[in-house]
Amino acid sequence: MKKYKESFKTILDRLHLSIKKNNLKNSKQREFVLKAIYDDGGHLSPEDIFAITRKTCKNSSVSSIYRILSFLEKEGFVSSIEVDKTGKRYEIASGLHHDHIICLECGRIEEFYNDEIEKLQIDVVGSYNAKLVGHDMLLYVVCEDCLKR
C-alpha cells in the first residue's frame, strides 16, 4: 500500500467539509469510493472502483461512480491520468508531485520522481520567461516483463 502525507481520517474530514460547503447530502458511497482508491494505492479505473465498492455498497452503479469521481477530482481529493483510450485512472491527490511510466503492453503504471527532470523543466520554462504552474509527465514504455515475453 502506498504511503500518503494524510491519513484517511483526515481526508474524510476534509470530504465532509467539502460536502457541507457544496450543500450536498452526506453519501456513504463517496466515502466508499475514496476508501477504495486510498486502500489500493494504485491507479484505478472507474470500473475497478465500481467492482470494489459494489461489495460494500449494493446500490452502486457505474454512472454514480463517474459522478462521484468527477466531484472528488473537482474538489482535489483525487487526480486522474489518461493512460490510453480506455479512459482515466484515478489516484489519491497526495499533494506530492510525481510522474508516471506506463507500459503499453500490460498497462502497469509506475510512479517516479527525478530532481534533474524537475530542474530541467523549470529551466525550460524560465527560458520562455514564464512561470511553471503544473505539469504531468507520462512516459510510455514496454516494460521489462513484457519485453521478456
Residues 6+ apart with CB under 8 A from 54: 60
Q: How far apart are alpha carbons 117 and 24 in whole angstroms?
A: 41
Contact between 117 and 99 under an 8 Å Cβ cutoff? The reply is yes
Q: How far apart are alpha carbons 125 and 84 in whole angstroms?
A: 27
Is this model's pTM higher than 0.75 or not?
yes
From first to last of the 149 residues of the chain, give the pLDDT tens digit: 466 778 999 999 999 999 999 999 988 999 999 999 999 988 999 999 999 999 988 888 999 999 999 999 999 999 999 887 788 999 999 767 889 999 999 989 999 999 999 999 999 999 999 998 888 899 999 999 999 99
Q: Which three cell numbers stand for residue 107?
A: 498497462
Q: How far apart are alpha carbons 110 and 92 in whole angstroms?
A: 15
